[in-house]
Chains A and B, each alone.
Chain A
Amino acid sequence: MYQALLTRRYLTSKVMPLLAAVAVMLCVAMELIVWSVMGGFGDMLKNSGRALIGDVSITYQPRGFAHYDDLIARLEADPLVEAATPAIETAGFITLPQNRGQPIYLRGVDGPGYARVTNYAQSLWWKPLAQPMTKDTRREDPRLRPDYAARLREYEEAGLSLTLRRPEDPEPHAAVVLGIEIGHFNSRQPEGWYDPYLFLPGQDVMVYVIPTDSRNRPMDARGLNFPVANQVRSGLFEIDNSQVLIRLDALQRMLNMDEARRIAPGGSAGSFVRRVNPETGREEFVQPQEFVTDPARVTSVLVRGRGADQVPRLTAVKARTEAIYREFAAAHGDVPAAEEVEFETWRDKHATLIGAVEKETVLVMFIFGVISVTSIFLVLAIFWSMVSEKTRDVGILRAMGAGRAGVAWLWLRYGLIIGLVGAVLGGVAAYSVVWNINPIHDWLGRAFGIVVWDPRVYYFSEIPSVVVWWKAAIVLGGGALASIIGALIPAVKAANMDPVRSLRFE
């Protein structure tokens, strides 16, 4: 009881404990801000990675597998699966206007189906905008211009369907959608919008691929001209600088993966028929032949799970996808077995990048955690000084019958209160900063010219941040704990003071 009363009095009558609380507050705020920003950055990368491949992909490279429509129907019948779509993934090369060219990662997709599985529709860049981007206060983004709106809407539709209809040519053309950074025709502005140096939609590009034969041996490169329907921005520079989306049927034809008729031996195995050769007039034994249809193939089926944002659910969707594929393979003799096929979640696909960001987060948190350890020593130094100053109080309390444990608890309790006050204030400060991090950053830029997160460099127009409550609880608890640890040694010192000497302390 006396501890509570003394703690309250010490708190309100001394400046030193407030300094200890400020030390805890700063450390808590620093940890929380860093964790929130790094967490936001990680989440942004993960969401970007997920935006263009869905949750789970079933891949068999490079030959691909047939009957994918049946597989998709089976997948979409499952309650865990929201949608599925076919895709072909292959390497290629692109030649661009102004004699530019570069290797590309080519993905053949069915536009509307792809939009159901991924965030493709949201990722399309050239479309009319009703509201400017957050930092575009001067509304300079060309997508905001009303006179461009009709044209941009056409490109948006063309992008979604991967089909472009030219004004001079009524025939619709299979089209491509390029990553926004391909060819560097767009200049990213500090406000996050793109200023096109050369507006690519409507321009023609040449796409080259190398088809393979039935034994997976590369054949001669094949190139075709495609109009650009739109551009896409995923948020991952590696993807936006290399990925080209193309209409699935066009890529199937280029890679010889479309439906095809061929001549195959007919009849039962080893059976021959007698036939008169019309050229020689002689009778001979020949194997009968017949026309068969090879079904179209794709290298991948992309799957979107229901509520697969969370890792356990994502894992469940992957497991279910694998099981459905096994049933599918059992029903079709000409598709690869499940063991030959790769099942990957979006986390697996971007494991290197996500792992790097997660490791960086741990590293940064460790470094800041070590820095935060200084708060323990600050509290220790301040409490040591306070215990020395209050030596006589300790003697008085002991003379009145207070035990060692009671005296130790007085200081530990005091440390706990200081820690809690500091942690709560730190949490409030961190929350205020994280909540307003972009306005603060903008203000720093305007007032002092300090632009730490330049969108041209960091590839995001706003500083990402996310406050996760369990993380905040850990940091706040850590702050309070640091204060208790800091108070521990002074508390033991106070408890072990000789009461007689304490009473004589000057």
Chain B
Amino acid sequence: MTMTLLAARDLRKTYRLGRVDVPVLRGATLSVSRGEWVAVLGASGSGKSTLLHLMGGLDRPDRKGGGSITYDGRPLDRIRSNDLDRYRAADVGFVFQFYHLLPEFTVLENVLAAAMILHGRFGFMRKRAALEGRARELLAAFGLPHRLGHRPAELSGGERQRVAIARALMNQPALLLADEPTGNLDRATGETIIAEVARLRERTGQTIVMVTHDPEVAARADRIVHLRDGRVGE
């Protein structure tokens, strides 16, 4: 087992807006070790979220000269679409600024949805009791045991983000990718959420890459990298 879990080398990503090519990442390189908490600091529009999406397999680098990303030795930029789906389901947990919970599902169902996607219909049915137990445990750990049957619309912002974190952790992913997890919360709630993430990290040694523009949030990480003009610098 190597110490490096995720390695992004010379990542380039260009978006096309109308007739104009807008380069967002211009050769970003970042390496994340197992159990490490890396905070990516950068101004708005610096490409933080794009970097996270590429690392999480939600997007791919440019076809030509787009660089490479390897996860546990596997080249994410070259694997098939199905394998990338599997990677997102099994190895990565996403936490977004705007929570991104499914509004029609209850809190418990939102957390279980991740397991449903990973295990498929029959796998989920077989392990249903165990999976449901884990989802309840996670939600209880985040202080939401009384909210299992509620819809996201009935929760506060902090509660929604806790549900999103529980969902991200449901499949016990090796890598947690958080995109401005406190960006939509008031300071106090944001601090609570970060404290909970820190406790989780202490307890489980979870690898975390957290994108933020808040230096105080970034200060909780093991390492801070800065993203400027599409490049990473320490």
For the complex formed, measure the closest distance between the CB of A80 and the CB atoms of chain B, giving whole angstroms.
Answer: 55
| A13-B104, A401-B85, A402-B85 given; A2·B117 CB < 8 A | yes
Tell me the nearest residue of chain B to A10, going by C-beta: B104
Q: Does B89 contact A (CB under 8 A)?
A: yes
Q: Does A150 contact B (CB under 8 A)?
A: no
Give which listed residue, A10, A392, A403, A503, contacts B81 with CB less than 8 A.
A403
Q: Does B53 contact A (CB under 8 A)?
A: yes
For A398, the chain B residues whose CB sits under 8 A away are: 58, 85, 88
For the complex formed, measure the closest distance between the CB of B119 and the CB atoms of chain A, giving whole angstroms.
Answer: 8
Q: Fill in one digit per residue for B95-120: 1 if any A CB lies within 8 Å of its CB, else 0.
A: 01000111111000100011011111
The total of chain B residues at the interface (CB under 8 A) is 33
Q: Fill in one digit per residue for A467-500: 1 if any B CB lies within 8 Å of its CB, else 0.
A: 0000000000000000000000000000000111
| A2-B116, A2-B117 given; A399·B104 CB < 8 A | no
For A173, the chain B residues whose CB sits under 8 A away are: none
A396 to B100, CA, bound (A): 6
The total of chain A residues at the interface (CB under 8 A) is 25
| A2-B116, A5-B109, A395-B100 given; A401·B121 CB < 8 A | no
Q: Does A404 contact B (CB under 8 A)?
A: yes
For the complex formed, measure the closest distance between the CB of A10 and the CB atoms of chain B, giving whole angstroms.
Answer: 7
For the complex formed, measure the closest distance between the CB of B177 and the CB atoms of chain A, giving whole angstroms.
Answer: 10
Instruction: Say yes or no: A399 contacts B100, CB within 8 Å.
Output: yes
For A402, the chain B residues whose CB sits under 8 A away are: 85, 89, 117
For the complex formed, measure the closest distance between the CB of B64 and the CB atoms of chain A, giving whole angstroms.
Answer: 19
Tell me the nearest residue of chain B to A406, going by C-beta: B117
Q: Does A319 contact B (CB under 8 A)?
A: no
Q: Does B94 contact A (CB under 8 A)?
A: yes
Q: List which A1-27 residues lie within 8 A (CB) of chain B.
A: 1-2, 4-6, 9-10, 13
Instruction: Say yes or no: B58 contacts A500, CB within 8 Å.
Output: yes
For B94, the chain A residues whose CB sits under 8 A away are: 399-400
For the complex formed, measure the closest distance between the CB of A183 and the CB atoms of chain B, giving whole angstroms.
Answer: 73
| A1-B121, A503-B96 given; A401·B90 CB < 8 A | yes
A6 to B109, CA, bound (A): 10
Q: Does A365 contact B (CB under 8 A)?
A: no
Q: Fill in one digit per residue for B114-132: 1 if any A CB lies within 8 Å of its CB, else 0.
A: 1011111100110000000
Q: Does A397 contact B (CB under 8 A)?
A: yes
For B82, the chain A residues whose CB sits under 8 A away are: 403
A395 to B53, CA, bound (A): 12
A47 to B75, CA, bound (A): 75
A500 to B86, CA, bound (A): 17
Tell me the nearest residue of chain B to A392, going by C-beta: B100
Q: Does B59 contact A (CB under 8 A)?
A: yes
Instruction: Say yes or no: A401 contacts B118, CB within 8 Å.
Output: yes
For the complex formed, measure the closest distance between the CB of B208 and the CB atoms of chain A, giving whole angstroms.
Answer: 17
Q: Is the interface of A mostly helix, strand, loop or mixed?
A: helix
Give which listed residue, B58, B89, B104, contacts A9 with CB less than 8 A.
B104
For A10, the chain B residues whose CB sits under 8 A away are: 104
Tell me the nearest residue of chain A to B170, going by C-beta: A400
Q: Fill in one digit per residue for B55-88: 1 if any A CB lies within 8 Å of its CB, else 0.
A: 0101100000000000000000000011001111
For the complex formed, measure the closest distance between the CB of A319 and the CB atoms of chain B, giving whole angstroms.
Answer: 55
Q: Fill in one digit per residue for A227-253: 1 if any B CB lies within 8 Å of its CB, else 0.
A: 000000000000000000000000000
Instruction: Say yes or no: B100 contacts A1, CB within 8 Å.
Output: no
| A402-B85, A403-B82 given; A9·B117 CB < 8 A | no
Instruction: Say yes or no: B59 contacts A500, CB within 8 Å.
Output: yes
Tell me the nearest residue of chain A to B94, going by C-beta: A399
For B92, the chain A residues whose CB sits under 8 A away are: 401
A13 to B153, CA, bound (A): 14
A500 to B104, CA, bound (A): 21
| A399-B58, A403-B82, A499-B58 given; A1·B104 CB < 8 A | no
| A400-B113, A500-B58 given; A1·B81 CB < 8 A | no
Instruction: Say yes or no: B59 contacts A1, CB within 8 Å.
Output: no
Instruction: Say yes or no: B58 contacts A2, CB within 8 Å.
Output: no
Instruction: Say yes or no: A393 contacts B102, CB within 8 Å.
Output: yes
Interface centre among A2, A10, A400, A402 (most CB of B within 10 A): A400
For A500, the chain B residues whose CB sits under 8 A away are: 53, 58-59
Give which listed residue, A13, A401, A404, contacts B88 with CB less than 8 A.
A401
A392 to B98, CA, bound (A): 11
A403 to B90, CA, bound (A): 13
For the complex formed, measure the closest distance between the CB of A357 and the CB atoms of chain B, giving whole angstroms.
Answer: 49
For A9, the chain B residues whose CB sits under 8 A away are: 104-105
> Interface on B for A, CB 8 Å cutoff?
53, 56, 58-59, 81-82, 85-90, 92, 94, 96, 100-105, 109, 113-114, 116-121, 124-125, 167
A-B contact pairs, 24 of them (CB 8 A): A1-B119, A1-B120, A1-B125, A2-B113, A2-B117, A4-B121, A5-B109, A6-B102, A9-B105, A397-B117, A398-B58, A399-B88, A401-B85, A401-B90, A401-B92, A401-B117, A402-B85, A402-B117, A403-B81, A403-B82, A403-B85, A406-B117, A500-B59, A503-B58
> Interface on A for B, CB 8 Å cutoff?
1-2, 4-6, 9-10, 13, 392-393, 395-404, 406, 498-500, 503
